[in-house]
Structure 1
Amino acid sequence: MRITALPRALIILLLCALATPTLAEDNTITELNIGSYNCPPFAMLNEDKSYSGLSILLWEKIALEMNVRYTITNHGLTELLNSIEDGSLNVGVTCLSITPEREEVLDFSHSFYETHLAIAVKQQGYLSSIKNVFLNTKLLLVIAVVFVLAACVGIIYYLLEHRINDKLYSMPGKKAQMLEGFILGLLFITKGPFNYFEFKTLPGRVLTVFLAIFTTFFIASVTAVLASSFTLGLLSSEVKSFNDLTNMSVGAKRASTSSHYLVSQAIVHRTYPDIEHLLQALDNEDIDAIVADDAVLKYLIKKSKEKGEFEQLMVLPYRFEKQNYGLAIENNSPYREQINRALLKIRHSQEWQQALHEYFAEN
């Protein structure tokens, strides 16, 4: 019995000895190589070469959850992606869009911010604003429809009422009475139904009932269209939709998702090394419009206006090509699950919501 018990005791001791280094390794603090590039407000390179910003704050909290040390180094966008791909960097922390092309060569964390592409332009003068309003094709189409409908309604009422209704058709002469009919139709279409008893013929009164229902919805629709047309006209921009960029000089950041999207839409454009150069080119009128991330554009233009710069630049209210930002991670990283768990925990925290408010609040 003693002979068989001894090997068992030795085996247990040996297993404990082998397990001890593993536990020690689990308790050691790993140091990760983190890369970033300047992309306010997500990653902002300070004068002392350190980084701050929303993405950096997120990573600081993740690193604390994971109990890892790290160093952050500065890179260009292409260099950053290549370094993560070849394993020189463990994680990329900035405003990197999650795209199928990038997913082929590296991994991403869960999304931590959802945004979209937007268009920024330089405002034109007041005369151009007025011109944009009255040359708006949608507005001109609405006016044409109103006049055609008014003429049709006026003709119908003229044929039904002009012989017996001296109150509505009081002018002498056929042409003058037809003009009265047109004015009646115009008032009916733009103002709404008249008093039922203004008309003396039964068909005229029946038509009044149907037109009362029709004009109620028609006037509401026209009001919405006109409000939209005037709003877009007062934006002081020739860009009324994304398709307008086809005939304009457009800029985008080099190697960015904005540039790739413009290429996919067959829109010729110039590329610039960063968003600051893009805004400067737009302000100098070297280009007519720029396409970039909506959140980044709004943040930089807002901060520039606070310093008295780029005061005529604005972001247009057009949203397209949804973007999701994530942390770029080297392929087959052993830290991916830990990063994702920590990221999801932080995204639901009150501190993260407060940070979003501080960076993106309008006032």
Structure 2
Amino acid sequence: MSARRVVGLAVGVLAWAFSMPALAEPRVEDFRVRKLVVGTMRVPPFASRGDDGVWSGLSIELWQKVASQLNLGYEFREFDYDPDAMVQALQTRQIDLVVAAMPVTTDGEARFDFSHAYFAAGVGVAVRSEPTAGILATLRRLFTWQLLVPIGGLVGLLLLVGTSLWLIE
């Protein structure tokens, strides 16, 4: 085959491949004809349901804004606090998406697409405010009753054994 034919064939194959719609993912237009089933669970402040049955929370409000901008219809389906059940429902296509505080794992990322994180939380530890510098503070932390009692017991035992051996000789 000549180089011209190879280049022409390659261009033709590439043009055909890129002109095909992505078959793996449905288009947004496909979801405008039916209501999406959105799985969620009560995890305040991300998702909670009032006595009147209306859902609210950070994740719920974010989803409502996205659905409103894309003009998507949806209905919520509540799950007990069981992320595995929601993943199973997503795999079996009982629900279309999940709006909840879900843990992002490497196994989950291999099977599903997750959004970017929009909430970051940290854990803090509170301690008493005491002077931490100086020789006195260091000695106080070093010599506690939990340390002094066993040391005192060992010193007493050594004195008893030493005195006994001295008397026996």
TM-score by length of 2: 0.52
TM-score by length of 1: 0.26
How many residue pairs get matched? Answer: 110
Amino acid at match of 1:69: G
For residue 100 of structure 1, what is the aligned residue in structure 2?
106
C-alpha deviation, 1:38, in angstroms: 0.8
Q: 1:139 to 1:103 in 2, by over 3 A?
A: farther
Greater per-residue helix proportion: 1
For residue 112 of structure 1, give the secondary structure of its aligned residue in structure 2.
coil
Query: Do 1:33 and 1:89's aligned partners in 2 also have CA atoms closer than 8 Å?
Result: yes
For residue 110 of structure 1, give the secondary structure of its aligned residue in structure 2.
coil
Q: 1:99 to 1:139 in 2, by over 3 A?
A: farther
Identity %: 26
- Give 1:86's match in structure 2, choosing from 75, 88, 92: 92
In the alignment, does 2:23 pair up with 1:58? Answer: no
In the alignment, does 2:42 pair up with 1:38? Answer: yes
Counterparts of 1:28 and 1:112, CA distance in 2? 26
Query: Do 1:56 and 1:93's aligned partners in 2 also have CA atoms closer than 8 Å?
Result: yes
Q: Where does structure 1 differ by over 4 angstroms across 4 or more consecutive aligned residues? A: 25-28, 138-142
For residue 108 of structure 1, give the secondary structure of its aligned residue in structure 2.
coil
For residue 107 of structure 1, give the secondary structure of its aligned residue in structure 2.
coil
Pairing 1:77-226 to 2, within 5 Å after superposition: 77=82, 78-116=84-122, 118=123, 143-144=138-139
Counterparts of 1:61 and 1:42, CA distance in 2? 14
For residue 96 of structure 1, give the secondary structure of its aligned residue in structure 2.
coil
Query: Do 2:32 and 2:73's aligned partners in 1 also have CA atoms closer than 8 Å?
Result: no
For residue 53 of structure 2, what is the aligned residue in structure 1?
49
For residue 67 of structure 1, what is the aligned residue in structure 2?
71
Encode CA deviations 1:278-327: one digit per residue, 9 max, x unaligned. xxxxxxxxxxxxxxxxxxxxxxxxxxxxxxxxxxxxxxxxxxxxxxxxxx
Q: 1:29 to 1:65 in 2, by over 3 A?
A: farther
Amino acid at match of 2:46: F
Q: Which runs of 5+ in 1 are unaligned?
A: 1-24, 124-128, 145-363
Counterparts of 2:53 and 2:31, CA distance in 1? 31
For residue 61 of structure 1, give the secondary structure of its aligned residue in structure 2.
helix
Counterparts of 1:119 and 1:82, CA distance in 2? 34
C-alpha deviation, 1:109, in angstroms: 1.8
C-alpha deviation, 1:36, in angstroms: 0.7
Q: 1:36 to 1:119 in 2, by over 3 A?
A: farther
For residue 77 of structure 2, give the secondary structure of its aligned residue in structure 1.
strand
Greater per-residue strand proportion: 1
C-alpha deviation, 1:133, in angstroms: 5.1
C-alpha deviation, 1:44, in angstroms: 0.9
Q: 1:109 to 1:142 in 2, by over 3 A?
A: same
Query: Do 1:43 and 1:55's aligned partners in 2 also have CA atoms closer than 8 Å?
Result: yes
- CA-based RMSD: 3.5
Query: Do 2:40 and 2:98's aligned partners in 1 also have CA atoms closer than 8 Å?
Result: yes
Counterparts of 1:43 and 1:70, CA distance in 2? 16
Encode CA deviations 1:210-236: one digit per residue, 9 max, x unaligned. xxxxxxxxxxxxxxxxxxxxxxxxxxx
- Larger RCO (CA within 8 A; separation ≥ 6): 1
Q: Which runs of 5+ in 2 are unaligned?
A: 1-28, 140-169
